Amino acid sequence: MVILFEKKIMKKLAILVISGIMLASCSEWLVEKPKRIAESVFYNTPSEVETAVNAILLPLRQAREAQFANYIATLECQSDWMVGRGSWEPLSQYQGLNDVNITRVQGFWNAFYVGIRNANLVILNAPNGTSISQQDIAKYVGEAKFLRAFLYYQLVQNWGSVPLRTEANMIQRDLPKSSVDDIYDLIVSDLLDAETNLPPTPSVKGRPTRWAAKTLLADVFLNLNRPAEAAARANEVIQQGGFSLVPVSSVEDIQTKIFGPDDAVTNAQNEEIFALKYARIDNQGNYILWISLHPSMNLYINGGGAYAVHGDASNPNYINWNDDDIRKGMWSRINYGNAPNALISSKYADPQAVSQYGAGNDQPIFRYPDALLLYAEAAARAENTVSAAAMEALNKVHRRAYGYDPETPSPVDLDVADYTVETFIDRVIQERGYEFIYEGKRWLELKRTGKVHELVQYGKGKPIAEKHLLWPIPASEMNFNNALDPTRDQNPGY
């Protein structure tokens, strides 16, 4: 449970922020007057504030907890494409979460709120720094607000109404849930600030930029049914962001040039808008590789793999996927006994990973295809027509997938004349399904577009219980936050 008591919080803050890593213990003086120490010591110089910003995503990136990798796996199990194995299987049955998965999503809740707390501390304290410029303050507060918005966006999409903890109420123990509208108001406000104050290019790879803020804003505006604003933000990224799609001609090109473990590969940076950065070091690597692969694939040096989340060769989405699409070639059919049609994706491959917690693949949050496909859908919705620009945005992603130059007309181009607004949007949704496998986007998109029941029934032939559409608020939150009533405030069905 993440409740913001001054003593508990600031002790943890000291552990996170003083050194930027988790230490084994903390001196008693940090507990006695922690807030004063944090304000006077930790937020006075650019390096101190940067360290505090780095702590925001630390709860998601910790390898042993594998929070973000498990979060993506949980979302993927619920999509119309994927199947969960073992403890993930109930997610694919769509009847609600069992005890194991309730515990798992509680870990996500806690990690998101720890990150939000750390963002709140930066937003509250950085403006009072004594040896930092106003420009640096604006930049780091912009980073903190971008990350806070990103974390609240995950919370509101998966849990709906949640407690809204900000820098103004962060030491309040008992806090009622805020409405979904109020949560989105904070998300939009934070991102408007971030798009103004963040730089166009990161000082260090992996830091959020103006274009990351605009891409997230486009996504949020689509969720709020504000397509004109979504299209405008996505178009700014397309027109001014300096991004381009990496040309590919083989599965190996996709694995190495876009999702590969070598951070020195410059091609990937051309389309990376924002990503969690990992290193090929034990306990500092990406865990998604282990979750998604089967031992027989031998795609990293220690073997292994949980194959906990996989596809199915009998799924109509896979059957009707054109074999000439290079992305389809990343799927390998694995018969491991009780799942003869299992498909394992090698999208994230690192043959030299040092351990299951030591793969060097970065985890993309937003890539240039996000901006293109967000624009295509948003423009069609806003203009109530399929414009040449919207079709071109879709075609760029589509061409690249078939090995053609993304910037040049090709034999596989889709034609405006063949689509209505509705069928065009459906085609964009389909393209996202092909493009963003194992990036944690599909389930949330199906809910946003109102296609969740239709497409899960089509892909997997399963009905969805309404309780499955939101995750349960953790019992730890209910037990500790006295402003919440377990009967009134719990999500339906739990």
The verdict on 1 and 138 lying in the same domain is: yes
CA separation for the pair 202, 211 (Å, rounded)? 10
* Residue 492 included in any domain: no
CA atoms within 13 Å, Cβ hemisphere of 11: 12
DSSP lists the bridge partners of residue 312 as: 342
The verdict on 192 and 289 lying in the same domain is: no
H helix or E strand, kind and range, residue 331 = strand 331-334
**Residue 22 pLDDT level (bands cut at 50, 70, 90):** very low
* Residue 237 included in any domain: no
The verdict on 176 and 310 lying in the same domain is: no
pLDDT at 205: 86
> Are 75 and 440 spatial neighbours (Cβ–Cβ below 8 Å)?
yes
The verdict on 32 and 158 lying in the same domain is: yes
Query: How many residues appear in the chain?
Result: 494
Percent of the residues in the chain that have a pLDDT greater than 70, as a whole number? 89
> Phi and psi for 39 in degrees, rounded to 5?
-70, -35
The verdict on 137 and 16 lying in the same domain is: yes
Question: What is the tally of helices (H) and strands (E) in the chain?
Answer: 21, 6
* Residue 236 included in any domain: no
The verdict on 194 and 257 lying in the same domain is: no
The conformation of residue 417, written as its DSSP 8-state character, comes to G
The conformation of residue 177, written as its DSSP 8-state character, comes to B
In angstroms, the Cα distances linking 399 to 95, 165, 273, 441 are 38, 44, 20, 21
* Residue 486 included in any domain: no
Its pTM stands at: 0.91
The verdict on 62 and 181 lying in the same domain is: yes
Q: Which domain holds residue 24?
A: 1-198
Helix (H, G, I), strand (E, B) or coil at 345: strand
* Residue 368 included in any domain: yes
pLDDT in tens, 471-494: 999 999 999 999 999 999 999 999
pLDDT at 379: 98
Neighbours of 200 (CB within 10 A): 10
* Residue 299 included in any domain: yes
* Residue 221 included in any domain: no
Q: Tell me how far the alpha carbon of residue 241 is from its chain's centroid.
A: 20
CA atoms within 13 Å, Cβ hemisphere of 482: 2
pLDDT at 301: 53
H helix or E strand, kind and range, residue 370 = helix 368-383
Instruction: Specify the CATH number for the domain of residue 116.
Output: 1.25.40.390
pLDDT in tens, 328-374: 999 988 877 778 899 998 898 888 888 888 888 999 999 999 999 99
**Residue 268 pLDDT level (bands cut at 50, 70, 90):** low
Looking at the predicted structure, is the pLDDT value of residue 31 above 50? no
In angstroms, the Cα distances linking 181 to 164, 220, 448, 478 are 11, 12, 15, 22
Looking at the predicted structure, is the pLDDT value of residue 13 above 60? no
The conformation of residue 127, written as its DSSP 8-state character, comes to G
Helix (H, G, I), strand (E, B) or coil at 353: coil
> Phi and psi for 413 in degrees, rounded to 5?
-60, 140
The verdict on 258 and 404 lying in the same domain is: yes
Number of domains observed in the structure of the chain: 2
Dihedral of CA atoms 382, 387, 389, 391 in degrees, nearest 10, equals: 100
pLDDT in tens, 427-475: 999 999 999 999 999 999 999 999 999 999 999 999 999 999 999 999 9
Scanning 160-250, the segments in alpha helix (DSSP H) are 180-197, 210-223, 227-240
The verdict on 254 and 193 lying in the same domain is: no
The verdict on 179 and 258 lying in the same domain is: no
- 98 by Cβ neighbours in 10 Å (0-12 / 13-18 / 19+) ranks as middle
> Are 247 and 241 spatial neighbours (Cβ–Cβ below 8 Å)?
no
> Are 149 and 194 spatial neighbours (Cβ–Cβ below 8 Å)?
yes
pLDDT in tens, 194-215: 999 999 999 888 899 999 999 9
The verdict on 272 and 124 lying in the same domain is: no
The verdict on 293 and 151 lying in the same domain is: no
The conformation of residue 344, written as its DSSP 8-state character, comes to E
- 267 by Cβ neighbours in 10 Å (0-12 / 13-18 / 19+) ranks as middle
pLDDT at 357: 86
* Residue 478 included in any domain: no
pLDDT at 338: 76
Where b means 16+ CB within 10 Å and e means fewer, 398-409 reads bbbbbbbebeee
- 277 by Cβ neighbours in 10 Å (0-12 / 13-18 / 19+) ranks as middle
